[in-house]
Structure 1
Amino acid sequence: MLEVRDAPPLSVPLRFFLGAPLFGIAGALLLLIYPDTALASRWHPHAVAVLHCFTAGLMLQAMLGALFQVLPVAAGSLVPRPRLLAGVVHPASVLGAVLLVAGFLLPGYHLTGIGAALLALACGVFVVAIAPGLLHATARDPARRLMRVAVAGLAVAVALGFGLAHQLEHGAGARFVTLVNLHALWALAGWALPLVAGVAVLVVPMFYITPAYPKTLLSLAAVALPVLLAAISAAAWLGAEGLARGLALGVSVFALGFAGITYRLFLLRRRTRTDAAGSGWRAAMVALAGGAALLAVAMLASDPDTAQRAAMALGVVLAIGVFSGVIGAMLQKILPFLITLRLAALGLGARLTGGPGERALRAQTWLQSAAVLLLLIAICLPRVAVFAGAVLLLAQCSFAWNVWRFALAYRHTRATRQPNEPHA
Structure 2
Amino acid sequence: MVSAATAGVLLAVVFTGIVLTSRASEFRAAHDLLMPALRMGQEEVRASPTNPDLGEVAASDPEITLAAFDKNGGLIASAGPLDIEPNIQVGRTRLPDGTSAVVVAGDTGGVHVVAALPWHSREAAIERLAIMLAALWGPLVGCAALASWIASRATFRPLADLAQQAEKMSEGSLSQRLRVSGEDEFSTFAARLNRFLDRLEDSVRRQEQFVGDAAHELRTPLAVLRGSIETTLRRARSEEEYRTVLITALSEAERLSTLVETLLQSATPKTDAAPVLDLEEAAEKAHARWVDRYSEAGVELELRSYPVLVCIQPSEIGVVLDNLLSNALRVSPPGSQCLISCFPRAGGFGTVVVEDEGPGIPEGMSERVFERFTRGDEGRSRDHGGFGIGLAVCSRLIAARGGTIRAENGDAGARFVIELPSARRESRPSDG
Q: With the length of structure 2 as denominator, give the TM-score of the two structures.
A: 0.19
Of Structure 1 and Structure 2, which has the larger fraction of its residues in helix? 1
Of Structure 1 and Structure 2, which has the larger fraction of its residues in strand? 2
Larger Rg: 2
Q: With the length of structure 1 as denominator, give the TM-score of the two structures.
A: 0.20
